[in-house]
Chain A
Amino acid sequence: QLQLQESGPGLVKPSETLSLTCTVSGGSISSSSYYWGWIRQPPGKSLEWIGNIFYTGSTYYNPSLKSRVTIAVDTSRNQFSLRLSSVTAADTAVYYCASNRRDYIWGSYTPPRTFDYWGQGALVTVSS
């Protein structure tokens, strides 16, 4: 069973860049059976999809965040990362990393469609 763990600074200053890393255990990040994703949840609010990455480096971003988001994969460390630039207080949230299953159905691979294993989440506060 996959296990995911977020890590990174819990406090970021406004206008700076938020950086988080997700370490995957119990499986290889280079597996063709998964995409890897980031989701966030502001305090008391709903979940928001940030983006996904495949081990080849192909990335897929939420259009509303695309200009500020970079997701990368490090296969040698079995990790993937999130960078969100020019942060404001509105970016204060619990950030989750998760696996996103990829299946071969009816002659083609499925797109990223469901998060099956989640990390415990990392609270990142944007404040001076």
Chain B
Amino acid sequence: QSALTQPRSVSGSPGQSVTVSCTGSGSDVGGYNYVSWHQQHPGKAPKLIIYDVSKRPSGVPDRFSGSRSGNTASLTISGLQAEDEADYYCCSYAGSYTMVFGGGTKLTVL
């Protein structure tokens, strides 16, 4: 069970859109509709922002969206705001009731 692959960092200016990728395999990301994304600010617990590839929990702004193509899932943040600066982690079901996280991506708002 290998960690999902995410870019170490991405950046964007306020108002722009950024996309964070999460690459796995057919045994996890590509095999199930169970990819989630979590936002983590420094010193804080992670917060769920996307689940089941593209669903948003109540209270999460629609600036956050998720998608998947093959074995790669993506998180897109549009209308970037300063408060979006955080670490982002993808997570996928990996079969046999196991789960796997990505390595995390640091988003910098320029």
Residue positions of A touching B, CB distance < 8 A:
37, 39, 46-49, 52, 60, 62-64, 96, 101, 110-121
Contacts and interface: CB of A to CB of B under 8 A. Distances in A.
A34 to B, nearest CB: 13
B36 A113 contact: yes
A118 B98 contact: no
Contact of B38 (A48, A64, A115): A115
Nearest to A120: B45
Contacts, number: 69
Contacts of A47: 38, 46, 89, 91, 101, 104
A121 B89 CA distance: 16
Nearest to B6: A46
A96 B45 CA distance: 8
Contacts of B100: 49
Interface in B1-59: 1, 3, 32, 34, 36, 38, 45-48, 51-52, 57
Given A118-B47, A119-B45, A46 B97 contact: no
The interface size bin for chain B is: 20 to 34
A62 B3 CA distance: 12
16 contacts: A47-B38, A47-B89, A47-B101, A49-B98, A52-B99, A60-B97, A62-B98, A63-B98, A110-B34, A113-B99, A116-B48, A116-B51, A117-B48, A118-B45, A118-B46, A120-B45
Interface of B: 1, 3, 32, 34, 36, 38, 45-48, 51-52, 57, 89, 91, 93, 96-104
Contacts of B47: 118
A111 B93 contact: yes
Contacts of A112: 93, 97, 99
A64 B1 contact: yes
Contact of A46 (B1, B57, B103): B103
A109 to B, nearest CB: 11
B4 to A, nearest CB: 10
Contact of B36 (A62, A115, A117): A115
Q: Which 7 pairs between the two chains have the least Cβ-Cβ distance?
A: A113-B34, A60-B97, A114-B36, A114-B51, A118-B45, A47-B101, A113-B93
A116 B3 CA distance: 20
